[in-house]
Chains A and B, each alone.
Chain A
Amino acid sequence: MPDDVAPKGPLKKLGLFAAFILAVALSIWIGKQGGAWAYVGGLGTVAASIGFALLSNRLFRRETIRAPMRRYLLRFGVSMSAYVILLVTAVSLGRQGLAEGPWGYLIALAPSVGVLGAIASIGFYLAEETDEFARTTLIHSLLWGTAGTLSLASIWGFLENFDKAPHAPPWVAVPVFAIFMGVAQALIARRYR
């Protein structure tokens, strides 16, 4: 398969480690900017980064990465990078009072483009992956992510109704989903080890 690659080298390892540290630092920065809920967003970003790094880990075992997975890692990486850049830019512009008027909608919506890209990259991967086992395990983790997010949303919603919990912004669903899916992926990978 000429489309496959088996990259190696300490530089890539260092790069991923740096990206992980950057993700943690960014989550702390987001938390400081946006309060308690932003920490959930930051945690989701870190969870997604860890999942991304774990998948990329095959690089270091010098195993070939099949073409669909390589494309997924590329799309997901680009989407998450775009998300980080757009989020930091949008927050900065908002703080300078530049998110007013019609342009304000564009600035407010900008970070979601990255999130939608990351979600779409999972869909493209499922459509392109020819390995049925890889597809099955990913679908299992997606279902666990969905079940966990829906369950938590229901519980939280009812707690909110009775003033037993603070209001959770809807965007929290994505990082919460990423956390549940990441944990499920780790457990599923362990089962088939």
Chain B
Amino acid sequence: MKNRLKVLRAERDWSQADLADRLEVSRQTINALETGKYDPSLPLAFKIARLFGLPIETIFQDEA
């Protein structure tokens, strides 16, 4: 699954650690999400959407 996490993070001038703190996860998790190696659960995806104030589908795009 593709996502725009890196772009959205850069727009706010946040580091991976900043985003990790805001989502209460580790920096490794942010790295795995941004590189598309790990797809988040629905609760985490909603949390990310709430943080950026955007609908989930504008952050995550299904490649299927």
Contact = CB atoms under 8 A, between A and B. Distances in A.
Contacts of A1: 21, 24
Interface residues of B, number: 16
Interface string A130-166: 1111101000000000000000000000000000000
Contacts of B24: 1, 130-131
A40 B56 CA distance: 50
B57 to A, nearest CB: 21
B1 interface: no
How large, as a class, is the contact surface on chain A?
Answer: 10 to 19
A133 B38 contact: yes
A66 B44 CA distance: 17
A64 B29 contact: no
A132 B44 contact: yes
B41 interface: yes
Given A191-B37, A192-B37, A133 B29 contact: yes
Contacts, number: 37
A128 interface: no
Contacts of A64: 17, 21
Interface in B23-47: 24-29, 31-33, 37-38, 40-41, 44
Among A1, A69, A133, A191, max chain B CB count under 10 A is at A133
B26 A192 contact: no
A108 B3 CA distance: 55
A189 to B, nearest CB: 8
B26 A132 contact: no
Contact of B32 (A66, A130, A133): A133
A10 to B, nearest CB: 23
Interface of A: 1, 63-64, 66, 69, 130-134, 136, 191-192
12 contacts: A1-B24, A63-B17, A130-B24, A130-B25, A132-B29, A132-B40, A133-B29, A134-B26, A134-B28, A136-B38, A191-B37, A192-B38
Interface of B: 17, 21, 24-29, 31-33, 37-38, 40-41, 44
